[in-house]
Amino acid sequence: MKELFWIFISASLVSNFTLALFLGLCPFLGVSGKVATAVRMGMANIFVLVITSLTVSALNTWVLPHAPYLQLISFIVVIASLVQIVEMAIKKLSPTLFRELGIFLPLITTNCAILGLALFQTNRGYGFMEGLVFALGGGVGLTLALVLMASIRETVELADVPSVARNMGLVLILAGSLSLAFMGFAGLFSS
Amino acid sequence: MSRRTTPQEDFIRGIWKENPVLVQLLGLCPTLAVTGTVDNALTMGIATFFVLLGSSVLVATFKSVIPKEVRISAYILVIATFVTIADNVLHAVVPEIHKSLGPFVPLIVVNCIILGRQEAFASKNTVGRATLDAIGTGFGFIITMMIMGSMRELLGNGTWLGYPLFGAHFEPWVIMVLPPGGFFTLGFILLGIAWWKGRTAVPVRPRRWPHGVTTEVGGSTS
∠ CA A57-B88-A120, nearest 5°, is 30
Q: Is residue B205 part of a domain?
A: no
Question: B183 to chain A: which residues are within 8 Å by CB?
Answer: 172-173, 175-176, 179
Distance CA B52, CA B58 (A): 10
Asked whether the beta carbons of residue B195 and residue A164 sit closer than 8 angstroms, the reply is: yes
Q: What is the mean pLDDT of residues A150-168?
A: 84
Asked whether the beta carbons of residue B180 and residue A164 sit closer than 8 angstroms, the reply is: no
User: Given A115, A164, A175, which is nearest B183 (Cβ)?
Assistant: A175
- Predicted TM-score (pTM) of the model is 0.84
Work out the angle between the directed axes of helices B112-120 and B71-93 (0-180°, nearest 10).
Answer: 140
Q: What is the pLDDT of residues B26-69, one digit of tens each?
A: 888 888 888 889 999 999 999 999 999 999 999 999 999 999 88
Q: What is the pLDDT of residues A101-151, one digit of tens each?
A: 666 776 676 678 888 899 999 988 888 999 999 999 999 999 999 999 999
State the nearest Cα–Cα gap between B4 and chain A, in angstroms.
Answer: 30
Asked whether the beta carbons of residue A169 and residue B80 sit closer than 8 angstroms, the reply is: no
Q: Does A125 touch chain B (CB under 8 A)?
A: no
Q: Domain residues for B125?
A: 7-200
Q: Does A79 touch chain B (CB under 8 A)?
A: no
Q: Is residue B108 part of a domain?
A: yes
Q: Is residue B215 part of a domain?
A: no
Q: What is the mean pLDDT of residues A20-25?
A: 86
Please give the tally of structural domains in chain B: 1
Q: Is residue B208 part of a domain?
A: no
Q: Is residue B173 within 8 Å of residue B145, measured between CB atoms?
A: no
Phi, psi of B107 (to 5 degrees): -70, -5
Q: Is residue B213 part of a domain?
A: no
Q: Is residue A151 within 8 Å of residue A145, measured between CB atoms?
A: no
Selection from A36-40, A93-97, A182-186, B127-131 with the highest mean pLDDT: B127-131
CB-based contacts of B110, cutoff 8 Å, min separation 6? A110, A111, A112, A114, A115, B29
